[in-house]
Structure 1
Amino acid sequence: MGDRQRAGSGPGRREFVALGLGAFAVAAWPLTRGRRRRLVRRRLPLMGTVAEVGVVHTDPAWAWSAAGAALDALSACEARLTRFRDDSDVGRVNASAAGAAVEVGPWTADVLRTGLRIAHESGGRFDPCLGQAVRAWDVAHRTTPLTEAERLDLAGRHPFQALTLESTAEGGRILRRTPDVVLDLGGIGKGYGVDRAVDALRAWGVQDGLVNVGGDLYALGFSPDGDPWVVGVRAPDDPERMLAELPLSEGAVATSGDYQQGFDHEGRRYAHILDPATGAPVRSSFHTVTVGAPTCVEADAWATAVFGLDPARAEALLRRASPTLRLVHVA
C-alpha cells in the first residue's frame, strides 16, 4: 500500500506510490504541501483483482467511511454482472432458453446498453456477448490453443447482433435470440463498477479521490497538494518502471494488455482478449494499450476494442466514435 517507486525511464525521475494491482501508480506529492489534506486508501479483492479507493480529506475517519461506500458499490456491481454466479443478472440471462426474456436490474441494463453501442461503433471489435468463445479458450487454464476446426467454428461470429435489450421501469429485459449469445462483461464490467464507485463517492460529498480496479482508473478532483493527479503507466515487464505520466482530473483511463491473462505456446502469446473475426486471441505487436475517456466504462471497453490495432488505426477508430476518446499510450 505505501510502497513508493521511482520512474525508471521516460519523462523524469518522479516518485510514485503503488496503486494496488494493475497498470497504474500515482505520483507522490511533497509532504510539506497540503499536510492537512490526507489520502486515505482502502483495498478489497473484487472482480478478479484488487479494488482500491482513495479519498482526500482533512478527516481520515470520514474519508475511510466514504471509501467504504465506494467499495460497497463495487461489490454490488460485481454481484450483478459476474458470469460466475448463477443468481447474478448475467448468470440468469446465460442460463435462459433462447427466445426467453429475462428481467434485469438497471445497472445490468445500463452497462449492456453501453456495451452494445460500443460493439456497433467498433465494428464488432468489442462484443459483450463473446462468452462462448471465452469459455472455449479459457486462457487462464489452457496450455495449448484450440484446434483449427474449433477456432474456425468461432470465427466471424458477432453474437451481440442476436441480443435484444428493452428498457423497462425496473431496469431492462434481455432476450437471447440464439443460444450462442453468452454474456461476458469482462471487457467492460470493471470500468462500469469504477463509475458506480465514483457515484458513491460523489453522493458522500467527496470532491477529490481515486478509484482503481486492476487497471481501470478514475481520478476525481485533485491530489492532496491541489494539483491534478499524475498517473504513471507501469511497464508490463517491470512494474517499477513507468512508461508514461498522465496528468488526470475528472477523467478515466483504462489499460488492456496481453500480459494480464494468457499462455505461451510455440513462441506465440495467447491472451484473454479475443478477436471475433478470427475466433482466436488478438495477435499484436504491442503488449499494452491505454485509452482515456470521460467515463471508465468507455475507457475499459474501448481499450479492449483497439487492442491489437496499430496506433494510427486505433486513433482513427476512437476519433470516429467520439472526440472525447483518446489513445493515451501504446507499448
Structure 2
Amino acid sequence: MHAADPERRNAGGLRAQRGQPRAPGPAPERASERAIEPLPDLRPDEQLSSLRTRSPSRRELLALGIGAFVVAGLPLAARRGRRLLRRTLPVMGTLAELAVVHDDPQRARAALEAALDELRFVERRMSRFSPDSDVGRANAGAALAPVQLSPETGQVLSCALHMARATAGAFDPCLGRLTQLWDVTRRREPPAAEQLSRFADRHLFRSLELGGGASAPSVRFSDADVAIDLGGIAKGYGVDRAVAALRAHGIRDGLVNVGGDLYVLGRSRDGDLWRVGVRSPGDPTQLSHTLHLGDAAVATSGDYARGFSHAGRRYHHLLDVHAAAPRRAEEHSLTVVAERCMTADAAATAAFGLPAHEARALLASCAPGAMLATPDASRVNPGAPARRSHLSDVTHPHSSESI
C-alpha cells in the first residue's frame, strides 16, 4: 500500500535487539552494563532540543525515558551482505528511530527519508502544540463554528472516537484542557480540587461532532471544555504511515520507533526475529521481559517516564476521566502487541490501570487478536493461542480490527 494512503496510517520503555530467543530465566536481562545517569540541568524538552544537530547516545535515550534502539554491531551484517542503515531524530515531541536492512544503501536512504517525511506530516497535522495544525485550529475555533480538517486527521479522530465509545471513555481524545491543567512535565504538586472538579465524571468526547465525510471532514465542539489531544493515538498512526512508506520502497526488514510506539518489519539483519525488550519501570537499566517479533507493533503505557511525585504519590500523564486525575494502578506499565501500531497505541493508553478482567475485555472488544500483557505476563488476551502466553514466544499476532 502506498505511503500516502490514509488507510495506512508514552515516551515508552522498549529496546529493540537482535539475536536468537533465549530461554526465560529468573534473573532479569541487563539493559546496559553501566548505570544510567540523568542528563545534567536539562528538562526533557531541552534535552530533545540539544539533540537536533547530533545523534543521541544510549545514555541520553534512556535518560529521556526512551529505551528503543537497535543495539547490534554491523560487521556480522556486512559479512552476510545485509546492511543496516539507521536514522534517529526528534519528532512528535520525542525521539524517532528508524532502521532498515537492505543491500542497496541508496534505496535504503530513500526509504528512510520517505518514512521520516510521513512522521513529519503527521506532526504538522496533529500536534496540539502548533496553532497551525488541524488540532490547534480546531481547539482554537471549533467551539464557535465547524473547523475543516485534513482527511488524515479526520480518520485518526474517527478512530479515536470509536475507541472512546468502545471503552466508555477510558480512552478520551478530548481531554486536552485537563491534560494541560495537569502538565505533569512541569508541575510539582497537583492542581487545586476546585479546578479538577470541573472535569470529573465528564465524557467530553460526546461533545465533539465529526462531520463532513471522509474526504472533507470537519469538527465542532458543543462544550467549551473540549480540546482535542491525539497524543494517545497519533504516534502509532505515524509509525504505521512510516512503515507503509518503507514497504512502498521495497523494504521488507526494518524498524520504526517513535518514543516507544514501535513496529518491526520482517527479520533483523541476521535473519532472526527482532528481540524487543520492555524496560523495567522500576529500573531503567533492566528489562522486565523480551518479545520476539516480526511484522508486529508494540506499544507500552506506563506511569514512570513522565510525571512527578508529591506527598508519597506518583502523578503521571495517563488520566482517569472519573477522578480527573492520574489513574491509580497496581502495575506501573502495560504492553500491547498488535498488527498495527495505531491499535497498539490506543489500546495501551485505554487499558492502563484497569483491573485485569476489564483490561482483557477491552482488548477483546477493541483489538481482537492482539496481546495485552504486564511485565509479569499475568495479563494476556484470552483469545490468543496458548503458546503466546509466554512473552518470549510471541510471534506474528493475528489480524486486529481498526480502531
Aligned to 2:200: 155
Q: Pick closer, same or farther for the CA change 1:97–1:316 going to 2, 3 Å.
A: closer
Aligned to 1:94: 139
Q: Pick closer, same or farther for the CA change 1:14–1:261 going to 2, 3 Å.
A: closer
- 2:293 alignment partner, one of 222, 241, 248: 248
- 2:95 alignment partner, one of 46, 50, 54: 50
- 2:305 alignment partner, one of 239, 246, 260: 260
Map 1:1-331 → 2, pairs under 5 A? 11=25, 22-24=66-68, 28=72, 32=76, 35-168=80-213, 170-330=215-375
Structure 1 residues without counterparts, runs of 5 or longer: none
Deviations 1:90-126 (A, max 9, x none): 0000011425111111110111111111111111100
My pick for the range that moved more, 219-228 or 246-255, is 219-228
Q: Distance in 2 between matches of 1:320 and 1:97?
A: 31
* Contact 1:102 1:173 (C-alpha < 8 Å) held by counterparts: yes
Alpha-carbon offset, residue 47 of structure 1? 1.0
Aligned to 2:399: none
Q: Distance in 1 between matches of 2:95 and 2:193?
A: 36
* Contact 1:42 1:64 (C-alpha < 8 Å) held by counterparts: no
Alpha-carbon offset, residue 240 of structure 1? 3.1
* Contact 1:101 1:174 (C-alpha < 8 Å) held by counterparts: yes
Q: Distance in 2 between matches of 1:219 and 1:106?
A: 27
Structure 2 residues without counterparts, runs of 5 or longer: 1-15, 33-57, 377-403
Q: Distance in 1 between matches of 2:257 and 2:356?
A: 25
> 2:246 is matched by which residue type in structure 1?
L
* Contact 1:26 1:230 (C-alpha < 8 Å) held by counterparts: no
Alpha-carbon offset, residue 15 of structure 1? 8.4
Alpha-carbon offset, residue 292 of structure 1? 1.2
* Contact 1:255 1:291 (C-alpha < 8 Å) held by counterparts: yes
Q: Distance in 2 between matches of 1:140 and 1:45?
A: 17
Alpha-carbon offset, residue 239 of structure 1? 3.0
Q: Pick closer, same or farther for the CA change 1:307–1:15 going to 2, 3 Å.
A: closer
Q: Percent identity?
A: 48
> 2:256 is matched by which residue type in structure 1?
V
* Contact 2:17 2:276 (C-alpha < 8 Å) held by counterparts: no
Alpha-carbon offset, residue 66 of structure 1? 1.1
Q: Distance in 1 between matches of 2:238 and 2:351?
A: 21
Instruction: Give the TM-score of the pair, scaled to structure 2.
Output: 0.75
Instruction: Give the TM-score of the pair, scaled to structure 1.
Output: 0.91
* Count of paired positions: 329
The CA RMSD measured in Å over matched residues stands at 2.8
- Secondary structure in 1 aligned to 2:290? strand
Q: Distance in 1 between matches of 2:212 and 2:251?
A: 31
Aligned to 2:3: none
Alpha-carbon offset, residue 5 of structure 1? 11
Q: Pick closer, same or farther for the CA change 1:85–1:143 going to 2, 3 Å.
A: same
Deviations 1:48-107 (A, max 9, x none): 111011111012232122112111110111011001111100000001142511111111
Alpha-carbon offset, residue 164 of structure 1? 1.2
Alpha-carbon offset, residue 32 of structure 1? 4.7
* Contact 2:17 2:69 (C-alpha < 8 Å) held by counterparts: no
Q: Pick closer, same or farther for the CA change 1:312–1:207 going to 2, 3 Å.
A: same
Q: Pick closer, same or farther for the CA change 1:95–1:68 going to 2, 3 Å.
A: same
